[in-house]
Structure 1
Amino acid sequence: MLEIAALVVSLVALAVTGAVSFRQLRLTEHANTLPVLVDLFREHRSVRLAQARQVVHEQLSAYDLSAGLAGLPEDDRHLVRELAWFYDNLGAMVAHGVVDIEPVSGYLGGWVISVWESLQPLVQAERAKRAQNACRIRTAGRSTSRTCTTSSARLLRTELAQERICGGFRSTEHR
């Protein structure tokens, strides 16, 4: 009987140790994520990205979005590209589990969705433009077609990131 009691105590100790270890792991993950989130939120509040959001919401519809980024004046093009890249990077971090979606959606959820809805026609125009502006690359003695405009390709990746994030934002109660 004493052996069974010792076994039970050992199993309980093992379970408690496992639970404490798991909790410590989660706390460490959050401690590593916090500086990243603080930097992201600080950048999102920056004057430059605030200007970019203002351009997207107040001026973007006045431009010919069928021309893609080229249809925007240079200053606005830089702002829109910078905002798209910010959300692209944010989406990649969420998609790869670098940061949890809950704090991101709680803080940025509504912004991401509204910006994406405004940028979607521009991104679709860039996608069409990319398909038309393929360049030739020599690989293994034959030529293959691929996108040659970095800004267009990056903006197109934004669409996938926005869809991933927006799906997560829409599935949470934080908007």
Structure 2
Amino acid sequence: MDSSVVFNIVTTAIAVVAVVTSVVFGARQARIAKHANHISVMMDLFAEFRSVEFHEQHDYVTTRLGAECDPAGGVRGLPAEPRAAFYSVVYYYQSFANLAVFGLLDETLLATVLRTRIVSVWEAVRPFVERERELRGEAGGGTYMSIFEELARLAADLPPEHVRARLTASRRGRLRGLD
């Protein structure tokens, strides 16, 4: 075989290896960047989660809203303080759900981390949201809070042991990295 042919084959092989390596590392960097975006968004939203006022409003919505207020007036019919608590808590979770819909946040991660809270808030506000949909003329599957409703459905469908399974898988992955 001519030495120039061998040289061409070797240089072509090196070029192919370089391209494949670049593609692999580029895909890995994109995946890392995506996870970095998730972390940043989660941390910003969890800042609100650390406030005492948010937890007081959350407790109000999940334990007292339905007992103290009639859903017949929908959300707009709530008195000022209960309505403020509703908006603060429900739109907090709606923000997470919106980010998940647009691919800025992993909805399964979100539903795993906030599973119980999302489900309890949805159960508490559901009669008010459904009545609000009727008042808006959206009866029969309206759009008001539909993204949050879908997030609550996803969270409710996750088995309770899902969180534990994710933690176990995460630990195994970290331990493999130590080998």
TM-score (norm: length of structure 2): 0.73
1:57-136 matches, within 5 Å, as 57-62=62-67, 63-131=69-137
27, 40, 43: which one pairs with 2:32? 27
Q: Given residue 15 of structure 1, which amino acid in structure 2 is its aligned partner? A: V
Q: 1: distance between equivalents of 2:40 and 2:32?
A: 14
Task: Note the C-alpha offset of 1:107.
Answer: 1.9
34, 56, 63: which one pairs with 2:61? 56
Distance change >3 Å, CA 42–CA 162, structure 1 → 2: same
Asked whether the 8 Å contact 1:48–1:79 carries over to 2, the reply is no
Q: 2: distance between equivalents of 1:36 and 1:70?
A: 30
Task: Note the C-alpha offset of 1:13.
Answer: 2.0
Q: 2: distance between equivalents of 1:112 and 1:12?
A: 48
Q: 2: distance between equivalents of 1:26 and 1:58?
A: 40
Task: Note the C-alpha offset of 1:71.
Answer: 4.4
- For the residue of structure 1 that corresponds to 2:74, the secondary structure is helix
Distance change >3 Å, CA 100–CA 90, structure 1 → 2: same
Asked whether the 8 Å contact 1:105–1:174 carries over to 2, the reply is no
1:33-53 deviation per Cα after TM superposition (whole angstroms, max 9, x unaligned)? 322210111212322221222
147, 152, 171: which one pairs with 1:166? 152
Asked whether the 8 Å contact 1:57–1:115 carries over to 2, the reply is yes
TM-score (norm: length of structure 1): 0.74
Asked whether the 8 Å contact 2:37–2:104 carries over to 1, the reply is no
| Larger Rg over CA atoms | 2
- For the residue of structure 2 that corresponds to 1:98, the secondary structure is coil
With CA pairs under 8 Å and 6+ residues apart, which has the higher RCO, 1 or 2?
1
Structure 1: which 5+ residue stretches go unaligned?
133-152
Distance change >3 Å, CA 18–CA 99, structure 1 → 2: same
Q: 2: distance between equivalents of 1:106 and 1:93?
A: 15
Asked whether the 8 Å contact 2:57–2:89 carries over to 1, the reply is yes
Which structure has more strand as a fraction of its residues? 1
1:79-129 deviation per Cα after TM superposition (whole angstroms, max 9, x unaligned)? 112212112221111100112224322321221122112111110011111
Asked whether the 8 Å contact 2:72–2:131 carries over to 1, the reply is yes
Q: 2: distance between equivalents of 1:168 and 1:174?
A: 13
Asked whether the 8 Å contact 2:65–2:124 carries over to 1, the reply is yes
Q: 1: distance between equivalents of 2:72 and 2:163?
A: 33
Q: Given residue 174 of structure 1, which amino acid in structure 2 is its aligned partner? A: V
